[in-house]
Chain A
Amino acid sequence: MRHVNATLFAVLVNKDWRHIMEKTPKLRKAVALISGGLDSMLAARVVKDQGVHVEGLNFFTGFCVEGHTHAIRNRKGGKRNNALWVAEQLGIRLHIIDVIEEYKDVVINPRHGYGANLNPCLDCKSFMVGKAREWMEHNGFDFIVTGEVVGQRPMSQRRDTFPVIARESGANDRLLRPLCAKLQPPTLPERKGWVDREGLYRFSGRSRKPQIRLAETLKIDEFSQPAGGCCFLTDASYTAKMKDMWQARGERSYDLDDIMLLKVGRHLRPVAHFKMIIARDEGETNYLLGYRNRFHHLVMTSHGGPLTLLEGQLSDDDLSLAAKIAARFGQGRDAAEVSFLAVTPDGPEKRLSVAPLKPNQISDTWYL
């Protein structure tokens, strides 16, 4: 009898345990794409305020604007990383992930083509949501949150391209866009009651006013508003240099150093077979010094002046022309003669003295 009672007790306890577990809602977990701008900040905040555990993801493609050149040119800089700042304000973890290698295929072979300049907007968004889906599945999270607003961007944020992103990323209906959710069919988190659809929004179009109003309501009084996106691939000057690099190489390829160097210095191609990168200040000279073991370079010895990296095969005449151009950008620009040390990556050095070119001898077409 005692044994039977013990069994009954165990069943009852077990039943109670199951009952309690069924009645206790599971803490749902969302991973939010955090760019550092206002929209993704609001989207993550709205979902977090509904009691969902939110963690942030930020992908580093190599083309993110986030203050690189600022850091190079101003050593007193200390410009903050906005994605980290947003995460800190929201009280959420932020995982910054290096996707430089995988992103190359997105830039070089976008299935949906380019938007402004070399920006592969739609492929980029599908790629990032796809990476977020992988992260979500690997870490046992339930859904993905983005700050997308329908109609805000001409290619990636349109009513007809939203389903493309959801489908190609594999996120499907686990992709929640809180700022415009009410203009979309209910997603899994809404249908399951993990989030309350009534607490989501119906923002659309390019106006920023609804977001600013929501920020005020949520007492968010400081935020970053990157104009024209946060990607160098939308920048005409940057992408012109990238296209020149591909053309000179005869193939569309790059590595991280290539895309960093495109952000630094003046780039001139006076002759088809070589390019010069001339530092614009001491900070850039210091940065380019880090590459002196990979490039031919010119060090101005007679006057103060910038470091110049040389890319390509240079004859003695080419070296002389490069020195005459580089001399134009140093303190000896009006001197009769400027001296240089020309250094090759494998060691040999050569001294040369040249007369700086006059301003009208430097063709505008040389500038990239």
Chain B
Amino acid sequence: MSLHHLDVRNLLCPMPVIRTQNQVADLAPGDELEVLCTDPGALTDIPAWCRIEGHEVVQSGERNGEFFVRLKVAQSSVFY
């Protein structure tokens, strides 16, 4: 397991979800990704995308006026 970071500050939804989706595609099951963003909508959208794909949201919230979502990549796709 390794921790990765994604900076999508100043991007508006759905760009944070798109960048998250694209980065997760290159990660291994069990890897964690922390997404840093300024659009509060990402706190709704990224967890919604995670629920669909079966990834776990480990933690999310506000930090120093910015937002973060930390997710753990699913062991296997919920669809296959």
Contacts and interface: CB of A to CB of B under 8 A. Distances in A.
Nearest to A98: B18
Contacts of B10: 287, 290
Contact of B44 (A58, A68, A80, A287): A80
A241 to B, nearest CB: 17
B38 to A, nearest CB: 7
B52 A81 contact: no
Contacts of A71: 12-13, 39-41
A9 interface: no
A136 B64 CA distance: 43
A233 to B, nearest CB: 17
B41 A77 contact: yes
A297 to B, nearest CB: 15
Interface string B28-57: 000000000011110111001101110000
A277 interface: no
B40 A60 contact: no
A79 B79 contact: no
Given A80-B44, A84-B48, A85-B48, A93 B53 contact: yes
A236 interface: no
Given A88-B52, A93-B79, A95-B21, A81 B14 contact: yes
Contacts of A66: 13-14
A84 B40 contact: no
Contacts of A95: 21
Interface size class of B (residues with CB under 8 A): 20 to 34
Contacts of B79: 55, 93
Contacts of A87: 52
Contact of A81 (B38, B40, B44, B51): B44
A248 interface: no
A68 B12 CA distance: 6
B69 interface: no
A78 B40 contact: yes
A81 B12 contact: no
A97 interface: yes
Contacts of B41: 67, 70-71, 77-81
Contacts of B51: 88
Nearest to A291: B10
Contacts of B48: 80-81, 84-85, 88
A240 interface: no
Interface string B45-79: 10011011100000000000000000000000001
Interface of B: 9-10, 12-15, 17-18, 21, 38-41, 43-45, 48-49, 51-53, 79
Interface of A: 55, 58, 60, 64, 66-68, 70-72, 75-81, 83-85, 87-88, 92-98, 260, 286-287, 290
Given A71-B40, A93-B53, A260-B12, 17 more contacts: A60-B18, A67-B13, A71-B13, A78-B44, A80-B44, A80-B45, A81-B17, A81-B45, A84-B14, A84-B45, A84-B49, A84-B52, A88-B48, A88-B52, A92-B52, A94-B49, A97-B18
Q: Which 4 A-B pairs have the closest CB atoms?
A: A290-B10, A71-B41, A84-B48, A81-B45
